[in-house]
Amino acid sequence: MTDKLLLSRRKLIGGLGVGAGGLILSGCDALGANEGFRSVLRSGEDLTYRAQRLVSDRNALAKEFEEADMSPLFRANGNIMPASTDYAAHLATNFADWRLVVDGLVARPLSVPLAALMAMPQRSQITRHDCVEGWSAIGKWQGPNLSHILSLARLLPSARYIVFHCADSFGSHPYYESIDLVDALHPQSILAWRMNDAALPVAHGAPIRLRVERQLGYKQAKYVMRIEARERIDTLYRGKGGFWEDDVGYQWYAGI
Ligand SMILES: Nc1nc2c(c(=O)[nH]1)N[C@H]1C(S)=C(S)[C@@H](COP(=O)(O)O)O[C@H]1N2
Ligand SMILES: [Mo]
């Protein structure tokens, strides 16, 4: 497959969203104009071909950068200090008694101290964060793989989504986000407690925040208090799988 075709596919997938359910071929100019690709689509292997390409693209790594590329200033956006008294109490004691709850469709619900998250095998990555509001920043993140924590909790076969419940709210609506298992088990999906070689600052989501590097900024849930494995997300809060998805209709699959 040529670079050009790969690029086109990436653009296509990014634009439409894999989770939204299939490709809209008429919106696919660069690919549609390619006779080779169109004949593949017409063939009986059509569905398998497209499905495989989508899956392999979903598993690809986001670009990682060098120390020299790190942004001198990484903006904080959205909530920068949860208003709850619970959060204030944890912050006052530097999260010494704080626990990450892992529950829902798991065989072994967990309650994990911050020190235990810090002691797990760690991954560190320098990536670019892209906010839909029109800014980007390159930062370094460190923490355990989400897949490691989920393997300790042992997902039940009915688990389809991982939900991140956060400490902050907008009005009466708590911030939350959700991802599917492809992203949850992706090697770059981590629960970061370190940013740019220091403890994660409050404005950026202390004590831990999700990094799910193949998606846009609003999926990067800060102040994660509880991780819930679920079969469905349409029965949760306002039904669209995340605060911004519910509130203003942002795409649930925010692939980049
Ligand atoms: N809990 C929580 N997570 C959140 C937000 C928020 O307001 N609350 N804002 C989102 C948005 S829109 C972006 S761009 C990033 C901002 O992360 P930063 O503050 O570390 O730059 O966090 C995302 N995760
Ligand atoms: Mo954002």
* Cut 0.75: pTM above it: yes
Tell me the pLDDT tens digit for each residue of 57-90.
Answer: 889 999 999 999 999 999 999 999 999 999 999 9
Cβ of 34 closer than 6 Å to ligand 1, yes or no, is: no
- Taking a 5 Å cut-off on Cβ, the residues next to ion ligand 2 are 131, 217-218
Query: Looking at residues 102-111, what average pLDDT do you find?
Result: 98
pLDDT score, position 5: 40
- The alpha-helical segments, DSSP class H, found in the chain are 3-16, 29-32, 35-42, 46-59, 85-92, 114-119, 146-153, 181-184, 243-248
The DSSP bridge partners found for residue 139 are: 127
Ligand (nearest to CA of 83):
1
For residue 46, how far is its CA from the centre of ligand 1 (angstroms)?
39
Ligand 1 contacts CB of residue 75 (under 6 A)? yes
What are the angstrom distances between the C-alpha of 95 and each of 80, 81, 249, 256?
17, 14, 34, 33
Q: Spell 227-236 as b/e; 16+ CB within 10 A means b.
A: bbbbeebeeb
The DSSP call for residue 26 is G
The CA-atom distances, in angstroms, between 223 and each of 31, 162, 208, 250 are 41, 16, 6, 20
Q: How far apart are CA 86 and CA 20, in angstroms?
A: 36
Surface-to-core class of residue 35, CB atoms within 10 Å of its CB (0-12 exposed, 13-18 middle, 19+ buried): exposed
Nearest ligand to the CA of 242 is 1
Q: Is the CB of 223 under 6 A from ligand 1?
A: yes
Which of the ligands is closest to the CA of residue 170? 1
Position in ligand 1 atom list of the atom nearest CA 75: 21
Question: What are the structural domain ranges in the chain?
Answer: 62-244
Selected from 3.30.70.3340, 3.40.50.720, 3.40.47.10, 3.90.420.10, the CATH number assigned to the domain covering 62-244 reads 3.90.420.10
56 vs 151: which has the higher pLDDT: 151
State which of 77, 164, 166 you would mutate to test the pocket of ligand 1, scoring each by most atoms of that ligand within 8 A of its C-beta: 77
Q: What percent of the chain stands above pLDDT 70?
A: 78
